[in-house]
């Protein structure tokens, strides 16, 4: 791994820590808007407390958006610079799939976050529209963002333990076995026409 790849990997890790940490913080703040026994919004929140919750949600959404942009760009640059052997490191391919598969979801939910923040800046007298955007954000495609979050934490586990990693020696042995099993060898016999043609 060259110096450029190491730089982008370090930036990716730092931005990912901020990004995932901000997601968890926003989730804890957003829980104050929900009833714990059912998926519905609380109706008895004092206006000052509700306004504070929305302010914190909007600020953390900006942090999440900025950190995700850095994470996405760093991931793209790392993949282009690292030149990791996928046959030797199938775990790396798994990490790439788990991350990049949810990019369209993250882009749309980031749009909702920006929409939420811009609406909060207008200081609306009623927070019904903010609640609507927040509800759409956490329930998008029946909870796909939560599946994405689980996938991101799975990437950490996979990158740490690197399952299915193969050494060059093992790859060479597998290649040898494959050739022995699927190669075809033709043995000439004394009565074979091809042998007589070859000897002429």
pLDDT at 37: 60
Residue 82 lies inside a defined structural domain of this protein: yes
| 64-91 pLDDT tens trace | 999 999 999 999 999 998 888 888 888 8
In a domain, 64, yes or no: yes
Residue at 147 is within a domain: yes
Residue 32 is assigned to a structural domain of this protein: yes
Res. 157: pLDDT tops 70 = yes
Q: Is the pTM of this model over 0.75?
A: yes
What average pLDDT score do residues 9-17 get? 95
Residue 62, domain extent: 3-167
What is the percent of the chain with per-residue pLDDT over 90, rounded to a whole number?
40
Total tally of structural domains belonging to the chain: 1
pLDDT tens digits, one per residue of 114-136: 999 999 888 887 788 888 888 88
Question: Does some domain include residue 72?
Answer: yes
For residue 186, tell me if it sits in a domain. Answer: no
Whether pLDDT at 198 is above 50: no
Q: What is the mean pLDDT of residues 153-160?
A: 92
DSSP letter string, 65-84: HHHHHHHHHHHHHHHHHH--
Does a structural domain hold residue 191? no
In this structure, how many other beta carbons lie within 10 angstroms of the beta carbon of residue 15?
A: 20
Residue at 182 is within a domain: no
Q: What is the mean pLDDT of residues 1-18?
A: 92
pLDDT at 184 over 90: no
């Amino acid at each position: 791994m060259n110096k450029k790849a190491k730089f982008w990997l370090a930036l990716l890790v730092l931005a990912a820590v901020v990004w995932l940490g901000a997601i968890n913080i926003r989730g804890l703040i957003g829980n104050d808007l929900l009833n714990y026994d059912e998926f519905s919004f609380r109706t008895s929140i004092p206006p000052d407390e509700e306004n504070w919750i929305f302010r914190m949600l909007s600020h953390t959404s900006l942090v999440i958006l900025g950190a995700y942009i850095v994470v996405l760009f760093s991931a793209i640059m790392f993949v282009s610079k690292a030149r990791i052997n996928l046959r030797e490191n199938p775990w790396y391919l798994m990490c790439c799939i788990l991350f990049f598969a949810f990019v369209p979801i993250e882009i749309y939910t980031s749009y909702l976050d920006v929409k939420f923040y811009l609406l909060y800046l207008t200081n609306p007298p009623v927070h019904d529209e903010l609640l609507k955007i927040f509800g759409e954000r956490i329930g998008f495609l029946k909870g796909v963002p939560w599946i994405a979050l689980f996938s991101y934490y799975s990437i950490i586990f996979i990158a740490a333990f690197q399952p299915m990693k193969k050494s060059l020696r093992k790859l060479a042995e597998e290649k040898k076995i494959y050739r022995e099993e699927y190669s075809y060898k033709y043995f000439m016999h004394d009565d074979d026409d091809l042998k007589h043609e070859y000897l002429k």
